C-alpha cells in the first residue's frame, strides 16, 4: 500500500487511475454519518474513537481472534482497545479492513508504518498528537480534504433534520449534507415497536394516524419536509421482497389490527409492507427521488449477543437464500402503475449479482441512463473480490458506463478512502480489459467513463 500503484496491475490501469480517477471529487450518496457531528465539527480524542467506536467490521475481526468483549465494546480503556485491534490486524491477510486501516493512516496521518502490536504505541502517540492539534482531522476538515461535494445521511421520517438545516445555513461550510428518507420502522408492522413508532410519526407529522389513509397522509407530510431540505432518495432495508398485492381496504384492516395490538399473520404483514412500499415508490417518482432497496441480510442471528449488546453490533450475515425471487414482479407492478422511480438495488448476497443486473435491464426508460441498476458491492461484498465480481457482472449483463459508483455506507468520517479503494479496483478491471485486448486503448473515451462512474453519473442520477 506504500506504492502509488497499489492494486494497479498494468500500465493502462495506472494511467486511468492517476490521470482520471484520482482527481475526481466524491459524492457519497449513502452513509450513516451523524450530521450533528459534522455541524459541531467535533474533535476526536484518539484513534479508538475514530475507528472502534461503532465499526462492527473491526469488532467481528477481533471476536474471530478470540479477543475479550471488554476490549471490543466493553469497559477497557481506549488505548487497550486500540492495542488489541492492532494485534489482530496483521492476521487479517486479504481482508479489506487491513487495506482500509492502512489507507486511512497514510492519507490522514502520513503514516506508512504497518500496524501491529509492536508498532501500536508509536502509531497511537503519533495519531494522538495530530488529532489533538490538526483541524483537518475534525469532521469538516476530513470532508474537505477528501474533496467530498455531497454527503447523504440516513434519517428516519420522524427526525427533525435540525442539523441539516444548520449546515445548510452555514456559509463557511460549502459541502452539501443532505438527508435520506429511511421509513423502515413505518413499514415493519410485525415488530414489537411498531405501534409506538406510529405514535411518534403521528406527532412528527401532526396527524392522527388511525387508518391507512391517515398513515399515507402522515408519510406525505414528512416526504415534503425532507424534500424541502434537499432529500433525493428513499432507502429501504428489507428482510425480503414479497409480491403481495393488497387493496387499500385490506391494508386498512391490517393496520387497524396492529394499532389494536392484535396478532398479525405473516401474510397480513407481507400485504401491508407491499402496500406501503408501493405507495412510497409512487411518491418517490412524483418527487424525482431515487428508491434504494437493500436486500439479502439475515440480521441479529446470534440471539445471545443481541440480548447482551443490542442490534447493529456485528452479528448479521449474508442471507444464504436469495430474497429477490419476487423482485421482478414487484418492479413490474410499480411500472404498470406508472410509479417506478429510478431504483438502485443492493444485495448482500453476491449470488444475486447476475439476477439483479438482468432484472434491471427489463425496466429502462427513454432519456435515463440506467434507470434501474445494481448498487455498489454492499456490506460483506465491499472487498477486492466482491467489488471486482460486482463490476464484472454489471459489465457483462448491463452497461458499466452507466454505473453510479461507490458509497461509504459507513459511520466513520475516515472511510472516504473506500472511494479510493473502489477507484483503484475499477481502473484495474477496465485496464485489464484493455491490456488483454478486450477493449481498445482509447484513453480519451475511457477517461470519461472513469470520471462518470467515479463522480458524474451519481451527480446526474440523483440530481444533486
* Terminal Cα-to-Cα distance of the chain (whole angstroms): 33
Residue 80: which domain range? 44-137
The domain that contains 127 carries what CATH number? 1.10.2020.10
Instruction: Check pLDDT > 90 for residue 320.
Output: no
How many independent structural domains does the chain possess?
2
Three-state DSSP at 298 gives: strand
- Is pTM beyond 0.95? Reply is yes
Secondary structure of 327-381 as H, E, C letters: HHHHHHHHHHCCCCCEEEEEECCHHHHHHHHHHHCCCCECCECCCEEECCCCHHH
Q: What is the pLDDT of residue 323?
A: 79
- Tell me the pLDDT tens digit for each residue of 248-274: 999 999 999 999 999 999 999 999 999
- Tell me the pLDDT tens digit for each residue of 117-156: 999 999 999 999 999 999 999 999 999 999 999 999 999 9
- Interaxial angle between packed helices 56-64 and 96-109, expressed in degrees from 0 to 180 and rounded to the nearest 10: 130
Same structural domain for residues 115 and 181?
A: no
- Is 339 within a domain? yes
Same structural domain for residues 388 and 258?
A: yes
- Is 360 within a domain? yes
Q: How far apart are CA 195 and CA 198, in angstroms?
A: 5
Same structural domain for residues 222 and 79?
A: no
- Domain end: 116, 137, 158, which one? 137
Q: What is the pLDDT of residue 180?
A: 98
- Cell numbers at 127, concatenated: 495519531
- Is 39 within a domain? no
- Interaxial angle between packed helices 194-205 and 248-259, expressed in degrees from 0 to 180 and rounded to the nearest 10: 110
Same structural domain for residues 108 and 148?
A: no
Average pLDDT, stretch 16-37? 97
- Is 25 within a domain? no
- Domain end: 74, 107, 137, which one? 137
**Residue 317 pairs with which residues in a beta bridge?**
298
Same structural domain for residues 192 and 108?
A: no
- Is 115 within a domain? yes
Beta strand 148-152 with 317-318: parallel, antiparallel or unpaired?
unpaired
Same structural domain for residues 110 and 236?
A: no
Q: How far apart are CA 330 and CA 375, in angstroms?
A: 18
Q: What is the pLDDT of residue 325?
A: 85
Same structural domain for residues 308 and 419?
A: yes
Q: What is the pLDDT of residue 225?
A: 98
Same structural domain for residues 179 and 323?
A: yes
Percent of the chain residues past pLDDT 70, beyond the cut: 100
Instruction: Check pLDDT > 90 for residue 342.
Output: yes
Residue showing cell 502520513: 110
Average pLDDT, stretch 77-89? 98
Q: What is the pLDDT of residue 185?
A: 97
Amino acid at each position: 500500500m506504500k506504492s502509488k500503484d497499489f492494486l494497479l496491475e498494468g500500465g493502462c490501469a495506472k494511467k486511468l487511475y492517476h490521470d482520471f480517477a484520482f482527481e475526481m471529487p466524491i459524492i457519497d450518496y449513502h452513509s450513516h454519518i451523524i450530521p450533528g457531528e459534522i455541524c459541531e465539527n467535533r474533535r476526536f480524542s484518539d484513534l479508538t474513537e475514530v475507528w472502534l467506536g461503532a465499526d462492527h467490521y473491526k469488532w467481528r475481526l477481533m471476536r474471530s481472534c478470540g479477543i475479550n468483549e471488554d476490549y471490543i465494546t466493553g469497559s477497557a480503556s481506549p488505548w487497550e482497545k486500540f492495542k488489541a485491534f492492532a494485534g489482530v490486524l496483521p492476521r487479517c491477510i486479504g481482508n479489506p479492513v487491513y487495506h482500509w486501516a492502512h489507507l486511512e493512516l497514510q492519507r490522514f496521518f502520513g503514516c506508512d508504518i504497518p500496524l501491529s502490536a509492536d508498532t501500536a504505541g508509536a502509531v497511537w502517540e503519533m495519531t494522538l498528537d495530530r488529532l489533538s492539534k490538526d483541524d483537518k482531522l475534525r469532521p469538516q476538515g476530513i470532508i474537505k480534504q477528501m474533496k467530498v461535494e455531497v454527503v447523504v445521511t440516513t434519517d428516519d421520517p420522524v427526525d427533525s433534520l435540525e442539523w441539516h438545516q444548520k449546515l445548510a445555513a452555514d456559509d463557511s461550510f460549502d459541502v452539501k449534507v443532505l438527508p435520506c428518507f429511511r421509513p423502515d420502522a413505518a413499514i415493519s408492522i410485525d415488530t414489537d415497536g411498531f405501534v409506538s413508532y406510529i405514535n411518534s410519526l403521528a406527532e412528527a407529522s401532526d396527524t392522527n394516524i388511525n387508518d391507512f389513509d391517515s398513515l399515507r397522509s402522515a408519510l406525505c407530510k414528512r416526504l415534503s419536509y425532507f424534500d424541502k431540505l434537499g432529500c433525493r432518495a428513499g432507502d429501504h432495508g428489507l428482510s425480503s421482497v414479497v409480491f403481495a398485492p393488497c387493496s387499500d381496504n385490506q391494508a386498512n384492516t391490517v393496520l387497524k389490527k396492529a394499532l389494536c395490538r392484535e396478532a398479525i399473520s405473516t401474510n397480513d404483514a407481507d400485504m401491508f409492507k407491499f402496500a406501503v412500499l408501493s405507495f412510497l415508490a409512487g411518491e418517490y417518482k412524483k418527487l424525482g427521488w431515487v428508491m434504494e432497496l437493500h436486500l439479502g441480510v439475515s440480521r441479529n442471528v446470534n440471539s445471545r449477543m443481541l440480548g447482551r449488546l443490542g442490534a447493529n453490533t456485528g452479528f448479521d450475515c449474508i442471507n444464504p437464500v436469495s430474497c429477490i425471487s419476487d423482485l421482478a414482479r414487484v418492479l413490474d407492478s410499480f411500472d404498470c402503475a406508472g410509479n417506478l422511480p429510478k431504483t438502485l438495488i443492493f444485495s448482500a448476497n453476491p449470488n444475486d449479482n447476475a439476477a439483479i443486473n438482468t432484472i434491471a435491464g427489463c425496466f429502462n426508460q427513454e432519456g435515463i441512463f440506467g434507470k434501474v441498476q445494481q448498487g455498489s458491492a454492499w456490506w460483506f461484498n465491499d472487498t477486492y473480490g466482491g467489488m471486482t465480481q460486482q463490476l464484472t457482472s454489471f459489465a457483462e449483463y448491463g452497461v458499466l458506463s452507466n454505473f453510479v459508483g461507490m458509497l461509504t455506507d459507513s459511520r466513520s468520517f475516515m472511510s472516504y478512502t473506500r472511494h479510493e479503494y473502489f477507484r483503484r479496483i475499477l481502473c484495474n478491471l477496465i485496464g485489464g480489459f484493455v491490456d488483454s485486448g478486450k477493449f481498445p486503448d482509447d484513453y480519451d473515451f475511457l477517461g470519461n467513463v472513469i470520471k462518470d462512474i467515479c463522480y458524474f453519473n451519481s451527480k446526474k442520477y440523483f440530481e444533486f
